[in-house]
């Protein structure tokens, strides 16, 4: 029988010698072995003390699929990146704790959150040592440092060296990977050790202004922060019926009833009906462009689920809030939208000209909770939307 120690040494040497030989010949380390790229960030950027020793484990895949939304699953389990500026926490300034949406593991604190101008939640450090782990990421033709939760291995985002003083670190994190616990509920929800972070008088550890950060909107897109998912903003009458059809489309990961296109900040449903806001009822759609293109989303779905030839009206719903509109988020979206609209207009499927507006996307306001997924909550409720041939 082979000595166990010798067996271990033999297995170790069989795994290591090809790498050692490659290094001797000047070859680069393989991607699955190479360490994360060297970073200039001092490890003092992390807190030096551990606040809690609770262990968190990843649930079974079936449980995760049942618990998480499609967007949350795509981000945490398949390493997708949500669109910037149209996610839940990028501009959240409330005090509180951010935990792994899959396991509940504490990850980041609002006391370390800053406005990076990138459109994603940004932090200068994890809430405590060991909660966030780094991995080498060579996907998408670049070399980056991916960050994941320690307990559940949820994909969170990436970490960069272009953050603000004093740490110089920017953790660029997906909102869909996080659950936010307001400071007043941190202890009640099972995190009493972290409540002291938000006590009155406790100064944020690092909360500099965006101007102190080299990664801002004015500086252009930050390296490595490109989204793999896309957002569409579509208006075509009552958002109840629109959302119910849009959320069922293969490749659509998230829908949200919103108000957009007007000048009034933080509008309400009543504001739209008395004509003071100028907003349209719309649906924010997060989709995977690898599964459905923006052109197909418009041509095969949007232009078929409502009448794009009736100005400021859908069925019995009359008013500018029910107008047909595509709110584009990029020059490429505008180009595609104009091409699709022209094809639909020339197709002869509609007896009147298509009057759908194509306008630049502006501020988006989430509609009241009772509007969200309305027809799921009230099957058989009112809708004037259906798919035309």
Judge whether 64 lies within some domain: yes
Q: What is the pTM of this model?
A: 0.79
Judge whether 6 lies within some domain: no
Concatenated DSSP letters of 107-154: EEEGGGEE--SSSS-EESS-SSTTSEEEEEE-GGGS-EEEEEETTT--
- 54-78 pLDDT, tens digit per residue, is 899 999 999 999 999 999 999 999 9
DSSP state of 284: E
255 shares a domain with 146: no
CB distance 285 to 254 below 8 Å: yes
211 shares a domain with 249: no
From 111, 75, 88, select the one nearest 288 (Cα to Cα).
75
From 257, 277, 280, select the one nearest 266 (Cα to Cα).
277
Which residue among 195, 219, 243 closes a domain?
A: 219
Judge whether 322 lies within some domain: yes
d(CA 82, CA 387): 28
Q: How many domains does the chain have?
A: 2
Distant-in-sequence, close-in-space partners of 280: CB < 8 Å, separation ≥ 6 = 235, 259, 260, 261, 262, 320, 321, 322, 323, 325
61 shares a domain with 192: yes
Burial class (CB in 10 A: 0-12, 13-18, 19+), 363: middle
Domain that holds residue 213: 57-219
- 357-377 pLDDT, tens digit per residue, is 999 999 999 999 999 998 899
Share of the chain above pLDDT 70, in %: 81
DSSP helix/strand/coil, 98: strand
336 shares a domain with 241: yes
Which residue among 194, 219, 244 closes a domain?
A: 219
Judge whether 36 lies within some domain: no
d(CA 346, CA 356): 14
Which residue among 197, 219, 241 closes a domain?
A: 219
DSSP helix/strand/coil, 204: coil
CB distance 157 to 147 below 8 Å: yes
209 shares a domain with 72: yes
Which pLDDT band, with edges at 50, 70 and 90, does 213 fall under? very low
For residue 101, the model assigns a pLDDT of 98
- Three-state secondary structure string covering 299-359: HHHHHHHCCCCCCCEECCEECHHHCEEEEECCHHHHHHHHHHHHHHHHCCCCCCCCCCEEE
From 231, 192, 178, 385, select the one nearest 301 (Cα to Cα).
385
Kindly tell me if the per-residue pLDDT of 216 is higher than 80. no
Judge whether 290 lies within some domain: yes
- 94-125 pLDDT, tens digit per residue, is 999 999 999 999 999 999 999 998 999 999 99
Which pLDDT band, with edges at 50, 70 and 90, does 13 fall under? very low
The enclosing domain of 263 has a CATH number of: 3.30.1060.10
365 shares a domain with 337: yes
Judge whether 48 lies within some domain: no
359 shares a domain with 320: yes
Which pLDDT band, with edges at 50, 70 and 90, does 389 fall under? confident
164 shares a domain with 64: yes
Concatenated DSSP letters of 21-43: HHHHTTPPPPTTTSPPPP----G
Judge whether 23 lies within some domain: no
Task: Report how far apart the first and last C-alpha atoms of the chain are (Å, whole number).
Answer: 74
Active site residues: 172, 238
236 shares a domain with 202: no
For residue 21, the model assigns a pLDDT of 39
252 shares a domain with 210: no
193 shares a domain with 75: yes
- 323-338 pLDDT, tens digit per residue, is 999 999 999 999 999 9
The enclosing domain of 202 has a CATH number of: 2.170.150.20
263 shares a domain with 123: no
């Amino acid at each position: 029988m082979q000595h166990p120690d010798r067996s271990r040494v033999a297995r170790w040497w069989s795994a290591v010698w090809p790498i050692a030989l490659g290094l001797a010949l000047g070859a680069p380390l393989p991607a699955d072995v190479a360490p994360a790229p060297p970073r200039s960030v001092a490890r003092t950027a992390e807190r030096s003390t551990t606040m809690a020793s609770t262990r968190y484990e990843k649930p079974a895949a079936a449980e995760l699929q049942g618990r998480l939304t499609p967007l949350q699953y795509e981000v945490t389990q398949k390493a997708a990146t949500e669109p910037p500026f149209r996610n839940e926490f990028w501009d959240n300034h409330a005090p509180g704790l951010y935990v792994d949406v899959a396991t509940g593991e504490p990850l980041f604190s609002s006391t370390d959150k800053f406005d990076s101008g990138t459109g994603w939640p940004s932090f200068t450090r994890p809430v405590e040592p060991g909660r966030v782990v780094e991995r080498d990421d060579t996907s998408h033709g670049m070399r980056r440092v991916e960050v994941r939760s320690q307990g559940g291995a949820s994909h969170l985002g990436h970490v960069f060296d272009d953050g603000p003083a004093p740490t110089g670190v920017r953790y660029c994190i997906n909102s869909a990977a996080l659950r936010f616990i307001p400071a007043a509920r941190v202890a009640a929800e099972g995190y009493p050790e972290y409540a002291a972070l938000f006590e009155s008088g406790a100064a944020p550890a690092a909360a500099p202004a965006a101007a102190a950060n080299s990664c801002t909107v004015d500086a252009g897109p930050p390296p490595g922060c490109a989204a793999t998912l896309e957002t569409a903003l579509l208006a075509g009458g009552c958002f109840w019926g629109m959302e119910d059809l849009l959320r069922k489309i293969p490749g659509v990961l998230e829908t949200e009833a919103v108000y957009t296109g007007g000048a009034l900040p933080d509008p309400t449903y009543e504001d739209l009906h008395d004509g003071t806001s100028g907003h349209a009822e719309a649906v924010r759609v997060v989709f995977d462009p690898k599964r459905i293109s923006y052109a197909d989303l418009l041509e095969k779905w949007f232009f078929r689920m409502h009448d794009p030839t009736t100005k400021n009206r859908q069925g019995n719903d009359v008013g500018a809030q029910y107008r047909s509109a595509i709110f584009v988020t990029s020059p490429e979206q505008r180009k595609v939208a104009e091409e699709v609209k022209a094809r639909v207009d020339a197709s002869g499927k509609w007896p009147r000209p298509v009057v759908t507006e194509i306008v630049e996307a502006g501020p988006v306001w989430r509609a009241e909770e009772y509007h969200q997924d309305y027809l799921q909550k009230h099957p058989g409720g009112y809708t004037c939307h259906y798919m035309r041939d």
